[in-house]
């Protein structure tokens, strides 16, 4: 009998080894303005793009071929146009522009991942100097990096907010506190969906200023406010909210800090109030899913003690803080695969 078992080949290893090629090609295309140039013309020839980009023909030909093969460009009758994916997310000025995350990853995270072995040996971040800074989010961090980071998080979180709105019934809540909410993508998305909902973003003062400006851009200044403070240093969280959101927050910190944050959430909520943990959650046996596992490794290069934790760990911490009625709701988004909801 002939065996039907597929032979083992190095093809998967080749794909893993060269995975960064695709990222760097996309990042370069964003950086040089390829998708913006195509968008301006609607459709463009190879010669037009060589002229518009001010580059030599050889590298432009290679980049166009790569971006077409990756599904970012479409070629038809010798002309290029942006694919639906690139047109929606990689053209500056679009509402859901994802280029900030691409640029942040290229300029900030990519070099740090190049020092992953150092992070493994030292158990210290490589994206910032933990000997001179308290965290990566202080105002003194390089402004351009921080600007890309907050724009990146806004883009990533905007779609995660939509997924959360589908996963959890917010009609039962009246006032949301978004802890470490950045420029407010979750409150903006949730308040758009639910007219009865109001919200407060609670973040560092310099971030709260950015949040107020972003909220004003979206015309929601009468329903969303920003409270400057530190959810680590402040003894109490802002009061008067019946639901508290922790989106991609607890994975930045060690277990003790995470437990402290949850204790402050419990103290700030009224009876019946809810806390929502929105994260890429690891399976309890820590065999996946891959996005959660890789984000956990990213926490090694990004944070002092962060980790992408398991569902069981989050449940244990919530129970220890006094919460009950814990449920885990699956989500499908780039920023989170689950919402863990618990009640006081």
296-321 pLDDT, tens per residue? 999 999 999 999 999 999 999 999 99
| Residue 66 placed within a domain | yes
| Residue 113 placed within a domain | no
Query: Looking at residue 71, which CATH number applies to its domain?
Result: 1.10.10.10
Same domain, residue pair 196 and 272: yes
pLDDT digits (tens, 9 = 90+) for 187-216: 999 999 999 999 999 999 989 999 999 999
| Residue 129 placed within a domain | no
Average pLDDT on 4-16 reads: 90
Give yes or no for residue 170 having a pLDDT over 60: yes
Report the chain's mean pLDDT, rounded to a whole number: 93
Average pLDDT on 20-36 reads: 98
Domain that holds residue 200: 157-343
Same domain, residue pair 85 and 167: no
Identify the residue whose tokens are 């980049």. Answer: 63
| Residue 107 placed within a domain | no
| Residue 119 placed within a domain | no
pTM of the model: 0.91
Same domain, residue pair 320 and 207: yes
53: nearest Cα among 73, 25, 32, 39? 32
* Residue where one domain finishes, among candidates 46, 70, 89: 89
| Residue 132 placed within a domain | no
Two structure tokens written together for 256: 């003790």
Average pLDDT on 224-230 reads: 97
Q: Name residue 343's beta-bridge partners.
A: 274, 324
Tell me if 86 sits within 8 A of 70, measured CB to CB. Answer: no
Q: Measure Cα distances from 180 to 3, 185, 187, 228 in Å.
A: 56, 11, 12, 10
Give yes or no for residue 294 having a pLDDT over 90: yes
Tell me if 110 sits within 8 A of 104, measured CB to CB. Answer: no
pLDDT of residue 124: 93
Using pLDDT thresholds of 50, 70 and 90, give the confidence band for residue 174. very high
Give yes or no for residue 139 having a pLDDT over 50: no
| Residue 121 placed within a domain | no
Gyration radius of the chain's alpha carbons: 22
Counting the structural domains of the chain, the total is: 2
**Rounded CA separation 8/21 (Å):** 24
Two structure tokens written together for 114: 């190049």
Tell me if 279 sits within 8 A of 317, measured CB to CB. Answer: no
Catalytic residue among 108, 173, 241, 251, which? Answer: 251
pLDDT of residue 244: 98
Same domain, residue pair 78 and 171: no
* Residue where one domain finishes, among candidates 89, 106, 130: 89
Query: Looking at residue 230, which CATH number applies to its domain?
Result: 3.40.50.150
* Residue where one domain finishes, among candidates 44, 62, 89: 89
**Rounded CA separation 72/91 (Å):** 11
Same domain, residue pair 318 and 170: yes
User: What angle (nearest 5°) sits at the alpha carbon of residue 276, between those of residues 133 and 294?
Assistant: 55
For the question of residue 251 being annotated catalytic, the response is yes
| Residue 112 placed within a domain | no
Give yes or no for residue 47 having a pLDDT over 90: yes
Q: Name residue 157's beta-bridge partners.
A: none
């Amino acid at each position: 009998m002939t065996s039907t078992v597929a032979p083992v080949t190095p093809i998967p290893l080749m794909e893993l080894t060269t995975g960064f090629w695709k990222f760097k090609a996309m990042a370069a295309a964003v950086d040089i303005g390829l998708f913006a140039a195509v968008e301006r013309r609607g459709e463009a020839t190879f010669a037009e793009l060589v002229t518009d980009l001010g580059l030599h023909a050889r590298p432009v030909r290679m980049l166009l071929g790569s971006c077409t093969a990756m599904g970012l460009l479409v070629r038809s009758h010798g002309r290029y146009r942006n694919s639906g994916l690139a047109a929606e997310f990689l053209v500056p000025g679009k509402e859901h522009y994802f280029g900030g995350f691409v640029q942040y990853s290229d300029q900030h995270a990519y070099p740090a991942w190049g020092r992953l072995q150092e992070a493994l040996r030292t158990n210290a971040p490589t994206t910032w100097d933990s000997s001179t800074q308290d965290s990566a989010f202080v105002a003194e961090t390089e402004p351009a990096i921080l600007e890309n980071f907050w724009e990146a998080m806004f883009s990533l979180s905007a779609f995660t907010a939509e997924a959360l709105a589908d996963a959890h019934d917010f009609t039962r809540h009246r006032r949301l506190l978004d802890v470490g909410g950045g420029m407010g993508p979750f409150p903006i998305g949730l308040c758009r969906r639910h007219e009865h909902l109001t919200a407060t973003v609670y973040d560092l003062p310099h971030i709260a200023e950015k949040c107020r400006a972003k909220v004003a851009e979206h015309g929601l200044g009468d329903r969303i406010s920003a409270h400057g403070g530190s959810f680590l240093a402040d003894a109490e969280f802002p009061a008067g909210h019946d639901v508290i959101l922790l989106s991609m927050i607890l994975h930045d910190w060690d277990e003790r800090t995470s437990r402290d944050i949850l204790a402050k959430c419990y103290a700030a909520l009224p009876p019946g109030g809810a806390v929502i943990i929105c994260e890429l959650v690891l399976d309890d046996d820590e065999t996946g899913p891959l996005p959660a596992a890789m984000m956990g490794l990213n926490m090694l290069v990004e944070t002092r003690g962060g980790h992408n934790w398991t569902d069981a760990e989050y449940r244990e911490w919530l129970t220890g803080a006094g919460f009950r009625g814990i449920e885990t709701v699956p989500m499908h988004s780039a920023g989170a695969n689950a919402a863990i909801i618990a009640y006081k």
